[in-house]
């Protein structure tokens, strides 16, 4: 999904066509190339006070908000390889 990020680094689900049910449940992430463009850093933070607010997140978020009540939040921070990045092989001279 990060490869479909806009110029602000935001990935929006309407641009993702592979598994739309997964994309819709994930929402919008901030994606940044790191480690010399070798990896994507994917970050997301959500906070909500009720299951009604959680419905914009995942079904799991709705379930947790219903159990825990108010003031639930989650923070995602993940690194994934940039599949477009390739290290040029060393050539012998």
- pLDDT tens across 4-28, in order? 555 555 555 544 445 555 555 555 6
**Tens of pLDDT along 27-46?**
566 778 889 888 888 887 77
Q: What is the pLDDT of residues 43-89, one digit of tens each?
A: 877 776 666 665 555 666 667 666 766 666 777 788 888 877 666 66
Nearby residues of 71 by Cβ (< 8 Å), 6 or more positions away: 47, 49
């Amino acid at each position: 999904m990060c490869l479909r990020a806009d110029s602000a680094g935001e990935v929006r689900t309407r641009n993702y066509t592979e598994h739309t049910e997964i994309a819709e449940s994930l929402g919008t992430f901030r994606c940044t190339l790191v480690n010399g463009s070798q990896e994507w850093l994917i970050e997301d933070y959500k906070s909500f006070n009720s299951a009604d607010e959680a419905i914009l997140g995942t079904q799991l978020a709705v379930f947790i908000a219903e159990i825990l009540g108010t003031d639930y939040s989650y923070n995602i921070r993940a690194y994934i390889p940039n599949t477009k990045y390739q290290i040029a092989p060393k050539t012998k001279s």
